[in-house]
Chain A
Amino acid sequence: MSSIPPLRNSPPHHPSVPGGSSSSTPAVPRRGHVEFVGDRHALVSALRRGDEGAAAALFHEYAPLVERTIARILGVDNDLPDAMQEVFLRALRSVHHLRDPQALTDWLLQITVYTSTDWIRKRTRKRWLLFSDPVTLEHPANDSVDETGREALRATYAVLDRMSIEERTVFALRYIDGMELAQLAVACDCSLATIKRRLSRASARFEALAKREPALEPWLAERNTGVPAKEAES
């Protein structure tokens, strides 16, 4: 029986650098894997050619960012995978419009924001047509998210649901995702001044609506403890 040699007494080994090779590594066939990570120009060129491997690599690299961004804007619900797929399909359809491959991330982020806002409009129309209740998180029996957190999450998105799409988007990306203002302006395809104005309105609106949500009370202004006034939001 062949077994792997014990590690404890073996000499130090330096794992091979990506792209290099080790003489002790058996030859391994590479099937269906296209190396595009980090090489934006090659990836974009291949996408324009309709290369399926490049399409897969695009998904592979950007799926976490896209999924997270959609979740911040929409909340976590069953639409997430479909919205995510739509982002990437839209990207493939419009990749010929991308002039600078180095701007791939920003460009994909813009598509993500557009798709998410479209999804909200579609969801709003559907609810209006079907007279259905807003989507709420499931409350599973065996969960890793405690009750306090779940309530705060539900309440936050309940408030966001009552805001305009533009204000909701900038609020979610700025405060929940922690996006910097400059990147937020690029993602929303508007000027920094516009983003700041939108954010100011969004913050005021959120604070006013949040008073109706008891789960958000811990984050309301301290009134009784004498703690100094909170820092101004930057």
Chain B
Amino acid sequence: MRLTDLGEYVAAVQDAERERRQLTNGAAERYIAAVRRKPRRNPLPLLLAAAFLSVVALTTVVVLRRAERPIETATLTSPAIVGRPFVAPKDQSIPVSFPDGSRLVLASGTHASVKELSAQGAKIALERGKAQMSVVHHALTNYALHAGPYQVSVIGTRFELEWIPERDRFELWLAEGSVVVTIDLGSHAAVRMQASDHLVIDHGHWQLNSNNSPVEPQTAPLLPVAPPAAQSLPKAGSATDATAADSANEVTNAPPNWLRLSRLGKYESAYNEAERLNIATLAQSGSAPTLLTLAEVCRFSGHGSNAMLVLTKLRQRFPNTEEAAVAAFQLGRLASSAQHAASFFQKYLNERPSGALAREASGRLLEALDRSGDPQGAIRAARTYLDQYPNGPHAAFAKRVLGN
């Protein structure tokens, strides 16, 4: 039994369940309340301790008393601010500073709130209005801005975002760095933006102006963006386990409906079709290239756990193939923990040291090792990366790791 494969799959599902149920919302506040109730063992002079606690208690009382009122003045985000709304007055913008030096500036009349806060970043909801964000990049930086159905994932950049829910209009100008905008409108899709790009999504119709060259707006409803070229499927022929289902379709020259839908970029519909046929059964019977496509359908339609199931099955059924190596890379991207991610990226590099995704896998391995609290592993990975890809996209990060 492949216990590590099962474990990785179960971990991904469990993390999604934890995320959904949000069982520990408010845990920080309850914990602080419990801390205050417990008897103290304090060797410091009672006067000093009492004075310090008075300041903390007074500050906390002031914050708690304002719990019903939105925050209208510039303030530093702290755990007590999480969940409370920010409202920029009509004639004033408000800056919000984060512990790592990142900044959010809300334009006048903007409504927003910080949903989560951690040492690595925050999740911010832009209810309406305009915000500028400037994010300091660290190895662990992880900020996400939500505006309606759109999410902007940020690890170090500067941009301006406007969301007008009444007009169903989302607009983002990217000044520096790169971001990924995830769009969840039934068909899960993502747009990667580079510096100077300008993205407008108006009632589901999108326009991406890249380097000031306007792109014709799409007249059809929003279609998922194809995955980047580096992750395109390898050419078929490296695995020969064509199944009866595939053979039948080849004979009739009619690919399965879900496969046709996936080629049109209709991932949600493709997933529904595949699910009707049973994902686990398809994973048990399809060819290796088919399974890679099936995993992409699962991933792009927001069913990460099934994507992991399919990719895991692919590796079991077609070991030592090109598709199996690509599956390892994709599993690394889907992994819920940095340790698992590092393990998968390393597997890809072990199996395909000169493969098409080797440079990307090396960079992501380095990031994962750094995130997983393995400084020695990260240093080794950084040295290896710089030896092989001195000018690669992760070179700056690798140098920072070595510098630390």
A52-76 vs B, Cβ < 8 Å mask (1 yes, 0 no): 1101100111011001100110011
A contact residues around B76 at 8 Å (CB) = 28-31, 33
Interface size on B, residues (CB 8 A): 100
Q: Tell me if A4 and B13 are in contact (CB < 8 A).
A: no
Q: Tell me if A52 and B56 are in contact (CB < 8 A).
A: yes
Q: How far, in angstroms, from A206 to B337 measured CA to CA in the complex?
A: 23
Interface status of A99 (Cβ within 8 A of chain B): no
Q: Which of B27, B105, B280 has the most CB of A within 10 A?
A: B27
Q: How far, in angstroms, from A76 to B11 measured CA to CA in the complex?
A: 11
Q: How far, in angstroms, from A63 to B100 measured CA to CA in the complex?
A: 18
Interface size on A, residues (CB 8 A): 90
Q: Tell me if B101 and A15 are in contact (CB < 8 A).
A: yes
Q: Tell me if B34 and A227 are in contact (CB < 8 A).
A: no
Q: How far, in angstroms, from A67 to B88 measured CA to CA in the complex?
A: 34
B contact residues around A49 at 8 Å (CB) = 42-44, 49
Interface status of A141 (Cβ within 8 A of chain B): no
A95-111 vs B, Cβ < 8 Å mask (1 yes, 0 no): 01000000001000000
Interface status of B246 (Cβ within 8 A of chain A): no
A79 CB, nearest partner CB in chain B, Å: 9
Contact of B17 among A6, A76, A96, A176 (CB under 8 A): A76
Q: Tell me if A84 and B24 are in contact (CB < 8 A).
A: yes
Q: Tell me if B79 and A56 are in contact (CB < 8 A).
A: yes
B288 CB, nearest partner CB in chain A, Å: 12
Q: Which of B4, B74, B303, B373 has the most CB of A within 10 A?
A: B4
B80-110 vs A, Cβ < 8 Å mask (1 yes, 0 no): 1000000000111101010111110111100
A129-173 vs B, Cβ < 8 Å mask (1 yes, 0 no): 000000001001001111011101100100000000000000000
Q: Tell me if A7 and B159 are in contact (CB < 8 A).
A: yes
Name the CB-closest residue of A to B138: A18
Q: What are 28 pairs between A and B in contact, CB < 8 Å?
A: A3-B93, A7-B159, A8-B160, A8-B173, A8-B198, A20-B101, A29-B76, A32-B60, A32-B63, A35-B99, A55-B35, A59-B32, A60-B117, A63-B28, A67-B24, A76-B14, A76-B18, A85-B34, A96-B41, A140-B20, A144-B302, A148-B279, A148-B309, A177-B339, A178-B4, A178-B343, A207-B3, A222-B317
B interface residues, Cβ below 8 angstroms from A:
1-21, 23-24, 26-28, 30-32, 34-36, 38, 40-44, 49, 52-53, 56, 59-60, 63, 74-76, 78-80, 90-93, 95, 97, 99-103, 105-108, 117-119, 130, 132, 134-136, 158-160, 173, 175-176, 198, 275, 279-280, 283-284, 302-303, 305-306, 309, 313, 316-317, 319, 337, 339-340, 343, 373
